[in-house]
A and B are shown apart, each in its own frame.
Chain A
Amino acid sequence: MIRIEGLHKSYPIGKDSLHVLKGLDLHIKEGEFVSIMGSSGSGKSTLLNIVGLLDEHDVGNYYLNGQLIEKLNEKKAAVLRNKFLGFVFQSFNLISYKTAVENVALPLYYKGVGRKERLKTALEYLEKVELGPWAEHLPNELSGGQKQRVAIARALVTVPKVILADEPTGALDSTTTDSVMDLLKGINDEGMTVFVITHEEEVAEQTDRIVRLKDGVIISDELTESGKAKAKQYV
């Protein structure tokens, strides 16, 4: 699903440049549930942004769904994002003046789905994250956990290939963290590829595979207990 070879990325800072990703190799297969661990500033978000086509890499190859990503213009990137990728952010990033159901329906708007069908589908996904009764509420009337579930419903609504989550539990307490992780697990069980960034050990352990990033290089890449269990099943 996602294949990265010798990926480099640096940011220009004044005359100098900050080398953030220093040659990453990573292969994530369809249906995997992967977490990226690393301390703050280790380049996790940078990696996710590149994978999410929000940013461009400098050197190396990136294949998304078998397609080599290079020289994408903004329009193509937008279409690919809409088609293949669903985003979940630490700070939810809901549009404050839209109701929960409208927020969930927004990606479908850019996909060209009609309003009626859009709202119907959006409501189905809200029900899936157990927020059906909250459909007409504005984001500021929802708790943090509820907001993140709305964001997850929004990421799912276009039925993407990959869910990219940048510290989805970073702003949540432990109980809601668990419910959000359970939700992501459930999504993964249905066969969707889920790619989570976190710096919390407990969160990472709930995924199937942990990739550790330090100073722009991968220092380890291991399956967790549940990952090993799954791997056995398939062998």
Chain B
Amino acid sequence: MFKFIFDSDTWQEIYGGIRKNKTRTIITIIGVLWGIFLLVVLLGAARGMENNFKKAFGDFATNSLVVWTNRTDKPFKGFQKGRRIQLKTRDVEVLKEEFKGRLKYIVPRCQTSSLIINGFKSGDFQVSGDYPVLDKVQKKNLIYGRFLNKNDINNKAKVVVIEEEIYKQLFEKNEYPINQYLIINNVNYKLVGVYKSGAIDFDGDTAYIPFTTFQQVYNRGNSIDWMMITADEGVDIEQFELDIQLTLKNLHKVDPEDNKAFGGINLAVQIGKFTGFLTGMQFLTWFVGIATLIAGVFAIGNILLITVKERTKEIGIRRALGATPREIRQQVILESVFLTTIAGMLGIVFGGLVLYIIDSAFGSGPDPTLLNPTVNIPIVLIAFTILIVLGTSIGLIPAYMATMIKPIEALREE
């Protein structure tokens, strides 16, 4: 069998057979080519979406949640309904203590909007009082300098880290901003860092100052606007969210059944939903691609079957000249495999080419729709293996038909 495959004469025969039947060769090739092309392109596009998604959420610790407060919806322990709930720094301490082992980071946050001035340039921007740990929950990609640190917090330092957009508005192009002073709300801050916000960011274009500085400058006392909490790896994030809220309700004397008083977003759940969607898309892609492939391969089988009938006479002649049924069968199967393989390779090449074009058209720029739409080698290899297996098995039917042809019947004159 191997001798047969590697025998140049075998291929000579197959080449002859294929060259003779140009139309059917082209049609079959197009069938399979289309299937594998679809598979490659769809998988590539799905991959591109996934990459894009990963990049968007990549800066987040994904098992995080956000908690904020509203008014109560139920009267409780003598309090009227509609009471405004205010988060306090004490809540942070209690949560840290009670959720030891489950809670990884907790970030209390205060935000306001202020006029920021640098010489003759100025603009209104969001100012946020934060702890250095914010950088752990939502990575800050720094262009210049550093993010806030522990000393800034302890010293209530007048330092600020700004977003690239703010930098662009307040500074000359390529101007080195570090250690320059900005005036925010009539207070001088030394600029220590410039960062670039990701595609998805809760803060947008924000100027970060130390949390302690913010409390003092804006007279916030112990109040917090909202907080971000990251759970440890392996923690059931939905249960975790419920437990946190329950603790907070307890602290603020809110009815445990009150679902309005505390609001929140569970990032992990949101991401889970989208990941599920992506998985679904990939599954669909495989499904569609393989279905098309199978259709293409069936077309090959069908056309081979027709050609076997067309070539009845030729097969009869070969048999009369001494071809064994096995030799005839091998030739038909090998033709099938050869056609599917060639078509498959062309499909992969064209698919790759289209992905390349898509990549250069939509894959780059500041806000790409599809990031790096590529198909990895294992997937291509899997598709290829499927192709060869299908090509062989579908070739079996016409091959069997070919051996059923009796030489005399094929050669009968009338």
Contacts and interface: CB of A to CB of B under 8 A. Distances in A.
Interface in A70-86: 74-75, 78-79, 81-83
Interface stretch (B201-209, B256-264, B315-323): B315-323
Name which of A83, A93, A115 has the most chain B CB atoms within 10 A of its CB.
A93
Secondary structure type dominating chain B contacts: helix
B324 A74 contact: yes
A110 B16 contact: no
B8 A55 contact: no
Given A54-B407, A89-B411, A90-B413, A109 B13 contact: yes
B8 A115 contact: yes
A83 B322 CA distance: 8
Interface in B139-158: none
B284 interface: no
Contact of B322 (A45, A49, A114, A158): A158
Contacts of B13: 109
Contacts of B406: 54-55
A93 B317 contact: yes
B413 A78 contact: no
Given A52-B320, A93-B313, A109 B326 contact: no
Contact of A115 (B12, B20, B324): B12
A54 B411 contact: yes
Nearest to A89: B411
Contacts of A83: 322
A91 interface: yes
Interface in B210-225: none
Nearest to A91: B413
Interface in B306-352: 313-314, 316-327
Interface in A9-45: 45
Contacts of A54: 319-320, 406-408, 411
B324 A78 contact: yes
A220 to B, nearest CB: 25
A75 B326 contact: yes
Nearest to B325: A74
B324 to A, nearest CB: 4
Nearest to A154: B321
Contacts of B324: 74-75, 78-79, 110
A81 B325 contact: no
Interface string A135-166: 00000000000000000001000100000001
B253 to A, nearest CB: 93
B322 A111 contact: yes
A98 B16 contact: yes
Which 9 interchain pairs have the tightest Cβ spacing?
A82-B322, A97-B20, A110-B322, A78-B324, A107-B321, A54-B408, A75-B324, A54-B407, A74-B325
20 contacts: A45-B413, A54-B407, A55-B406, A74-B325, A75-B324, A75-B325, A75-B326, A81-B320, A82-B321, A93-B316, A93-B320, A94-B317, A95-B314, A95-B317, A97-B19, A109-B9, A109-B13, A110-B318, A111-B322, A154-B321
